[in-house]
Amino acid sequence: MTVYSGPVFDMAVNQFAVIADHLSIPHDERDRLLLPKRALTISCPIHRDDGSIAVFEGYRVQHHLTLGPTKGGTRFAPSVDIGEVAALAIWMSWKCALVGLPYGGAKGGVRVDLSSISKRELESLSRRYMQEMIPFVGPHIDVMAPDMGTNEQVMAWFMDTYSMYQGRTVTEIVTGKPVSSGGTLGRREATGRGVAHLARRVLKELAIDLTNATAVVQGFGNVGSYAALGLHQFGLKVIAVSDHTGALHDKAGLDIPALMRHAGEHGSIAGFSNELHFDPAQLLTLACDVLVPAAMERVIDANVAKNLNCRVLAEGANGPTTPDADLVLQKRQDEIFLIPDILCNSGGVVVSYFEWVQDLQQLFWEEEEVTRREYHILDRAFDQMVTRARVDKIPHRTAAMAIGVEKVRAAKITRGLFP
C-alpha cells in the first residue's frame, strides 16, 4: 500500500512488474524506479460567481528527476485523485524516455466537474492552482501542459500567473500555450496528428488501402478530434465518433471538418445530426480498420478486448487498456496491431518539448519543421519498438515500456545513488 494505491495506480504497478520481470531488474531496484519522487496536494479556494467560496483539491506528482525537469499535463476532471495522477506521471516517464526527451514524467490535476463552474470561475481556479504550485514547478524543474479538461486558454492563465509572480514573462513554464503567447505552431494538432501518422504507417505496412479503410474514434476532445481529422485527411472514412454527450455513426464516413467546426462552436458533438445517433456502448467493438480510444483510461477491459473488431488499435488516451485486456490482446496479436499509448500519443509531449526549446531560445520554427521533426521522432521510436518486440518475442506495449524503463534505469545506474 502507498498513498497512491487505487485502480489506476495499481494498473501502472502491474504493467511495471511485467517489464521489470522481462528485464530481470533486481527486486531491490524496483521501488526506486517506480515510486514517484515527490508529490504535492493543495486546496484551491476560489470565489464563486454568487459570492460564496468553493475549495477544490489539486495535485502534482513528479515521478523522477534523473534526466532533467519533469514534464506532463494537468487535468481538470471529477475522477482526478492522487493515485490517478501518479499513474499518469509514471506513464509520462516511460513515454518521454521511449521517444528520447530529456525529461522525467509528471502529471497534475484538480478534482472538478467543469460543467458546474463558469468561465470566470475556471480562470480563478486555474490561476489559484498555478499560484499554489509556484514552489514546486519551474522551467528547469517541472513544466506543465494540457491534459483532459484543460486547453490553451488554461495554459495561458498558468503562464500569466507564474510570470506575474516572477515580474517578467516566463513562457517556458508551460507548453501547449496559444501561439499568440509563446506557443508553437503544430502543438494543438500534435497528439492527434501523431496518432493518425502512426496508424497510417501501420496500415501501409499491413498493405491495407487507406482509401478503403475505416476508423472509429472514441473521444472528441483535442486528441480525438485531431486524430479523426488526420485520418480523414489521409483518406480513411471515419465511420463513428463519440464524446461525453453520445455517439454518431455513418457508414459513408462522417464529415469530420464540419463536425470539428460544430464541436468548436457548441462544445460537443451533440446537435450535429438527428439521424446519425448510435449507442456509445457499441462504439469500441464496431468493425473497422483503425480504432482510436482517445477519451479515458481503462475503457478496454478483457471483455471488450475479446470483442474488438479492428485491425489496428491506436491508443490516443493514456492507459485505455487494462492489464487483463492486454493478456487478451497478446493472444490476438496476429489479428490486432497494437500501437501502445506511450508511443501512440507521444506526439503531444514531443511537440511540447519543441515548444519549450523554442521558448528557451526565443527562436520559432515553421509548422512544417515542427511536424517533420515530430514524425521523425515517432518513426524512430516505432522502429525501435517493433524491432524490440520481434527480437524479444514480446507484445508491443511490453517492448515500448521496456525501452523507456531501460533508459531511466541506465541513467539512474550511471549517476549512482546519492549520498
- List the catalytic residues: 107
- Is 381 one of the binding residues for ligand GLU (CB under 6 A)? no
Residue 47 pairs in a beta bridge with 53
Helix (H, G, I), strand (E, B) or coil at 111: strand
- Is 90 one of the binding residues for ligand GLU (CB under 6 A)? no
- Is 101 one of the binding residues for ligand GLU (CB under 6 A)? no
**Chain-centre distance for alpha carbon 113:** 20
Task: Please state, in angstroms and rounded to a whole number, the distance separating the CA atoms of residues 206 and 289.
Answer: 11
Residue 189 pairs in a beta bridge with none
Among 11, 25, 33, 145, binds ligand GLU (CB under 6 A): 145
What DSSP line would sit under 305-348, residue for residue? HHH---SEEE--SSS-B-HHHHHHHHHTTTT-EEE-HHHHTTHH
Among 58, 69, 73, 109, binds ligand GLU (CB under 6 A): 73
**Shortest-Cβ-distance residue relative to ligand GLU:** 73
Residue 129 beta carbon to ligand GLU: minimum distance, rounded to whole angstroms: 15
CB 223 within 8 A of CB 294: yes
Residue 26 beta carbon to ligand GLU: minimum distance, rounded to whole angstroms: 30
Residue 227 beta carbon to ligand GLU: minimum distance, rounded to whole angstroms: 13
Binding mask 326-345 for ligand GLU (x = CB under 6 A): -------------------x
Q: Which helix (H) or strand (E) holds 154?
A: helix 152-166
Q: Take residue 120 and report the three cell numbers written for it.
A: 470566470
Give how many residues touch ligand GLU by CB under 6 A. 12
If you compute the radius of gyration of the chain from its CA atoms, what whole number of angstroms results?
20
What DSSP line would sit under 70-101, residue for residue? EEEEEEEETT--HHHHHHHHHHHHHHHHHHT-
CB nearer ligand GLU, residue 226 or residue 272: 226
- Is 13 one of the binding residues for ligand GLU (CB under 6 A)? no
Residue 360 beta carbon to ligand GLU: minimum distance, rounded to whole angstroms: 15
- Is 214 one of the binding residues for ligand GLU (CB under 6 A)? no
Among 58, 230, 348, 395, binds ligand GLU (CB under 6 A): 348
Looking at residues 279 to 318 of the shown chain, list those that interact with ligand GLU (rule: CB under 6 A): 318
Task: Name the site residues for ligand GLU (rule: CB under 6 A).
Answer: 71-73, 145, 147, 175-176, 318, 345, 348-349, 352
